[in-house]
Amino acid sequence: MAFRALIAGGGVAGLEATIALRALAPDLVSIELASPAATFAYRPLAVAEPFGRGRVHTFDLEAIARECRADLRIARLAGVDAGARTATFDDGSTARYDALVIACGTRHEPALPGAETFGEPADVEAFRRLLVAADAGQVRALGFVVPHGTVWPLPLYELALMTAARVSRRPPTLRVITSEEEPLDVLGPAASRAVSDLLVEHGISLECGAYPVAVKSGRLTLAPTGSVQADRFVAVPRQRGVALAGVPQTPTGFIPIDEHARVEGLDQVFAAGDITHYPVKQGGVAAQQADAAAEMIAAEAGASILPTPFRPVLRSVLLTGDGPRYLSSRMRDGGALSSVATTQPFWSPADKIAAPFLAPYLARAGTGRP
């Protein structure tokens, strides 16, 4: 009987693990992919939709599962009995496994009371209406806010830069207010310098080290003192993990894992992606965690490979409205050790999500490119 791998989640981490595992152990594992939705939405390009520069593409999970010789279950993971090696789903069904990968993502919630939130494809239309209001002269000052605790602020900078680059008869005054010490400092000093230069070039003012509290009557209150005035404010959301019975989770719902993506305290259970406790929530990180899990599972199933630990390298494409910037940094403990920022891609395929197995699949489908 084949080694049973169950992958719970149809996002970047879940699909990367599925494709990787089939490639690493082609005849040694049976794979079941569980997802609450029948489609995968490629979300990074949602930020470009209001400007007509890209769109969210969707993919049929049944087709991906069929290509990977995997079974597809449309259900959401609800809990795990690690002793019995059984997973329970929200429809009441169960599945046995020899190894489980939890890749069920997170939920988004507003992080700044009174501000508009941009973090999901559903937010595209609201931002498009904001741009129309700016064209009509109804928005003369617009603030883009990175609240304290934000785990991936890059889309906020993309919104600000593309708004500034957009041709308008009545361009609003733009301002970025961030709790970061430097803009996009999660990607290291090269990225911070590149973003700072871009903000100056586009006439966007910047306030770092600010701690946004709430927006009321066109005023953003900062802690411990100070405020910022604008007609509208847009912020990125906060992420929270979904509750899973039988799985260790932090108070905010994230799952602790080791360097091979194994869930602490659970045998043959792995986790990858935004649901993990790793402080950076980004598609490329999710894919690298998924690959670490897939290598461990393939080795357990009998494949002749030596699993490599998760040593994250962040590769990101920053959309600016005037051509993308390609940013990369090597990470340790959530901080950048070294960083690079260029106008030319230096990885292939140079997609928004740098995933060794999923990115080529998306490239063949003709999407993911800036």
pLDDT one digit per residue (tens) for the chain, 370 residues: 789 999 999 999 999 999 999 999 999 999 999 999 999 998 888 999 999 888 888 999 999 999 999 999 999 999 999 999 999 999 999 999 999 999 999 999 999 999 999 998 889 999 999 999 999 999 999 999 999 988 899 999 999 999 999 877 788 999 999 999 999 998 889 999 999 999 999 999 999 999 999 999 999 999 999 999 999 999 999 999 999 999 999 999 999 999 999 999 999 999 999 999 999 999 999 999 999 999 999 999 999 999 999 999 999 999 998 899 999 988 666 555 678 999 998 888 888 888 999 999 887 876 545 5
Q: Report DSSP letters for 21-89, one per residue.
A: HHHHSTTTEEEEEEESSSEEEE-GGGGGGGGTS---EEEEHHHHHHHTTEEEEE--EEEEETTTTEEEE
CA distance 202 to 158: 12
The pLDDT of residue 231 is 97
CA distance 64 to 320: 32
> Considering the domain boundaries, does residue 340 fall inside one?
no
> Considering the domain boundaries, does residue 59 fall inside one?
yes
The pLDDT of residue 199 is 97
> Considering the domain boundaries, does residue 8 fall inside one?
yes
The pLDDT of residue 66 is 95
The pLDDT of residue 333 is 62
CA distance 319 to 157: 9
70/141 same-domain check: no
The pLDDT of residue 336 is 54
- How do residues 105-139 score in pLDDT, each as one tens digit? 999 999 999 999 999 888 999 999 999 999 999 99
Q: What region does 273 belong to: left with phi over 0, alpha with psi -120 to 50, or beta?
A: left
> Considering the domain boundaries, does residue 219 fall inside one?
yes
224/284 same-domain check: no
Distances (CA, A) of 136 to 133, 139, 159, 172: 5, 8, 19, 10
- How do residues 221-257 score in pLDDT, each as one tens digit? 999 999 999 999 999 999 999 999 999 999 999 999 9
Domain count, the chain: 2
88/68 same-domain check: yes
Contact between 333 and 7 (Cβ < 8 Å): no
223/298 same-domain check: no
CA distance 35 to 334: 28
User: CATH code at 75?
Assistant: 3.50.50.60
228/173 same-domain check: yes
Domain final residue pick, 183, 205, 238: 238
Does residue 285 sit in helix, strand or coil? Answer: helix
20/169 same-domain check: no
135/252 same-domain check: no
142/250 same-domain check: no
The domain in which residue 57 lies consists of 3-105+242-310+356-363
CA distance 12 to 101: 13
**Residues ≥6 apart with Cβ < 8 Å to 240:** 106, 107, 108, 109, 252, 253
> Considering the domain boundaries, does residue 183 fall inside one?
yes
Q: How far apart are the first and last CA of the chain?
A: 44
CA distance 276 to 286: 9
Closest Cα to residue 223, out of 114, 116, 148? 148
pTM: 0.94
> Considering the domain boundaries, does residue 339 fall inside one?
no
Contact between 303 and 294 (Cβ < 8 Å): no
Distances (CA, A) of 235 to 96, 153, 171: 41, 9, 20
Domain final residue pick, 188, 222, 238: 238
Closest Cα to residue 229, out of 173, 183, 181, 277? 173
> Considering the domain boundaries, does residue 128 fall inside one?
yes
The pLDDT of residue 369 is 52
12/159 same-domain check: no
92/38 same-domain check: yes
Contact between 179 and 207 (Cβ < 8 Å): no
Does residue 297 sit in helix, strand or coil? Answer: helix
Closest Cα to residue 277, out of 220, 323, 327, 334? 334
Long-range contacts for 188-194 (Cβ within 8 Å, ≥24 apart)?
A: 188/329, 188/336, 188/337, 188/338, 188/339, 189/336, 189/339, 190/327, 190/329, 190/339, 190/340, 190/341, 191/316, 191/318, 191/327, 191/329, 191/336, 191/339, 191/341, 193/341, 194/318, 194/325, 194/327, 194/341
- Which 8-state DSSP code applies to residue 124? H
Task: Say how many C-beta atoms besides its own lie within 10 A of residue 162's C-beta.
Answer: 20
183/130 same-domain check: yes
Residues for the chain: how many in total?
Answer: 370
182/271 same-domain check: no
Domain final residue pick, 238, 259, 274: 238
The pLDDT of residue 248 is 98
Helices 154-165 and 189-201 pack at an angle, to 10 degrees, of: 20
> Considering the domain boundaries, does residue 299 fall inside one?
yes
